[in-house]
Structure 1
Amino acid sequence: MAAILAAGAGLHPARNAAAAPMPRVAAAGWAGAQTLLALGVVPLALPEIARYRALVAEPPLPESVQELGLRSEPNLELLTALAPHLIVADAGSVTSPLARIAPVATFAPLRPGRRPAEAAREATLALAARLGRDAEAQSLIAAHEARLAGAAERLSGDRGGPLCLVSDAFGNRALVFGGNSLYQDVLDRVGLRNAFTGATSAWGHATVGLDQLAALDPTTRLVLLTSRVPDARTFLALRPLWRTLPFLREERVTVLADILFYGGLPSADRFARLLAERLAPGNAARG
């Protein structure tokens, strides 16, 4: 866990948290912000708040959180004025300017060589330990397990084909999610299959052509993870080249709202819930 969250001066360890005030925390990325909120810690500030509310959505962001500018260029003057005790940055962020303001914890729910669900749990526990929120982290993980079990029960009667998870489409290509994604871990837990078994990036996704999509299992169902279109008909109208694909011709398409694919346990919970709401027998919906 030390590799996930480097120790920073000026913070009390978890065992002394009861005797110390809760640190003032700013979030420099959305994945860390999600988990802070799930642990009951409201960040002082967050970049691109409007986009978080539109594209990430859960947990909801309180109005008290201040706008920090762009994720790639956070407002360092505002951060300095807020005087946080800790800044939580997402993996891959440039942290050296932040570290001149306060200790930085890098939240990394996706790590090479580790299953995303396992890495997300470890990252959550490590962040909670830095904030003295160990009990909250255990409750969060228990609730996460219960939600996955509930989704699995609701989907137990599903008899449809495997799913092809697409979050973006451009021309004759698509961004699909495969075996080392957080989505795959959820599919495994709720008893659904992923139609795409090809190689993916460290983030769990790959860019593929329509020929590769057409070659998937003929019973494949398409799941669009996007807020850009409200339904499959709109999607087709914007991308006529896709009409030849079997799952579109036969209307085996479900549109889900956006989900932060690197967001850790809150994202996994959101994906499992939305899948169960749309695909569970008796209330399955297309488009």
Structure 2
Amino acid sequence: MTRLQNRIATILLIALLSPASGLADDSGIRLTDDRGKTLRLSAPATRPAAISTFGADVALALGTAPVAITDYGIQGIPEYLGPRLSDVPNLGPRHQPNLEILSAVRPDLIIGIRRYTKKDGDQIEAIAPLLALDLITLQDSLRAVALAGKALGKPEKAGALNSRFQNHVQALANRNTDNRTQTVALLTSGSETPFIYHDHFLPTALLERLGFDNAGGAPPNPDSGIPLGYRISLEALLQLDPDIIILLPTNRQRAFTLNPVWPYLKAVRNEAVYEVPHYWKEGAGPIARERILDDIQRLLLTPSAEEPRP
């Protein structure tokens, strides 16, 4: 073999082993998302885009600003993440993101909700690697934060966020001894029939961990995570008669609160009905889930339960 042939062979070998070829994965980052698909990154992502509020939440929590984010519909960019997102391009709704804007911002990672990115997955992945996540349960949240931390090159910080959160949950559970028999219903919808959430949805799972009994009950398909809950008539809700009702935000007047049955509910009679912010709907991010805990503590825990016992 001539010197020129040797040189060409060397160049070809280097090209084959380069990160771009996908054959040198051991030198980069490899992770498996909730589709079961393996992502390979040659280096930690520095320009993540979010087809989910979670993506922006976890990126900010880990100290990396997102380059684009989907919104809450007419509510726009989520308020709780504050001015840090004021100049970030808006991709529109998470179920139909603007792929032209997404391509224009040149992300090196896209963090999305699996059920909302499934339809356009191929087009999205043509722009950048897609980390598709379930983001329904408490375990989904812990896993997603760990995966995002690995993708962004900050696994230790992600682990610390998860540990701090779990410690916070346990501390509140240990203090909440006064509300162990109280039932709670998490409702949404602007229609005449509310939607009530099952136990596995992250906010209801947190309520259960803190000692409350979720009136929505266990999911019929715990392995799939879907459905999140079910429609319930006011008459059926009256049969459950929860001590506390928590209302997720809606763009319309809640028609079910005009039902003649509504005033007879125990929670309504006792003024134990609370409206919570939008981050309860998509609360898997490190910032959102801490805020949910703070809301539960402020709204539902007695003063004696809020403070550590001597």
TM band (smaller chain) = 0.7 to 0.9
Counterpart of 1:97 in structure 2 is 123
Is contact 2:62-2:158 (8 Å) kept?
A: yes
Counterpart of 2:53 in structure 1 is 30
Aligned equivalents of 1:140, 1:199: Cα separation in 2: 28
1:193 deviates by 1.4
Q: Percent identity?
A: 22
Change (3 A) 1:235 1:155: farther
Counterpart of 2:217 in structure 1 is 197
How big is each residue's C-alpha offset from its partner over 1:208-238, in whole Å with a ceiling of 9 and x where there is no partner?
111110101x462212222669xxxx96996
> Do structure 1's residue 86 and structure 2's residue 105 form an aligned pair?
no
> Do structure 1's residue 118 and structure 2's residue 139 form an aligned pair?
yes
Using the size of structure 2 for normalisation, the TM-score is 0.73
Is contact 1:23-1:85 (8 Å) kept?
A: yes
How big is each residue's C-alpha offset from its partner over 1:21-43, in whole Å with a ceiling of 9 and x where there is no partner?
x5211112223222222222211
Using the size of structure 1 for normalisation, the TM-score is 0.78
Change (3 A) 1:281 1:132: same
How big is each residue's C-alpha offset from its partner over 1:65-116, in whole Å with a ceiling of 9 and x where there is no partner?
1122332332322222221111112111132211111121112223xxxxx2
- The amino acid of 2:123's aligned partner reads P
Change (3 A) 1:58 1:148: farther
Question: 1 or 2 for the larger relative contact order (CA 8 Å, sep ≥6)?
Answer: 1
Counterpart of 1:246 in structure 2 is 266
- The amino acid of 1:44's aligned partner reads V
1:75 to 98, 106, 124: 98
Change (3 A) 1:219 1:8: closer
Question: Aligned pair count?
Answer: 264
Change (3 A) 1:140 1:44: same
Is contact 1:88-1:106 (8 Å) kept?
A: yes
1:166 to 187, 192, 214: 187
- Rg (Cα) greater in structure: 2
Which stretch shifts more, 84-93 or 152-161? 152-161
1:57 deviates by 3.8
> Do structure 1's residue 209 and structure 2's residue 228 form an aligned pair?
no
1:166 deviates by 1.0
Is contact 1:164-1:221 (8 Å) kept?
A: yes
Change (3 A) 1:69 1:224: closer
> Do structure 1's residue 256 and structure 2's residue 286 form an aligned pair?
no
- The amino acid of 2:258's aligned partner reads R
RMSD across aligned positions (CA): 3.1
Change (3 A) 1:235 1:243: farther
> Do structure 1's residue 274 and structure 2's residue 295 form an aligned pair?
yes
- The amino acid of 2:89's aligned partner reads Q
Change (3 A) 1:154 1:276: farther
SS at match of 1:105: strand
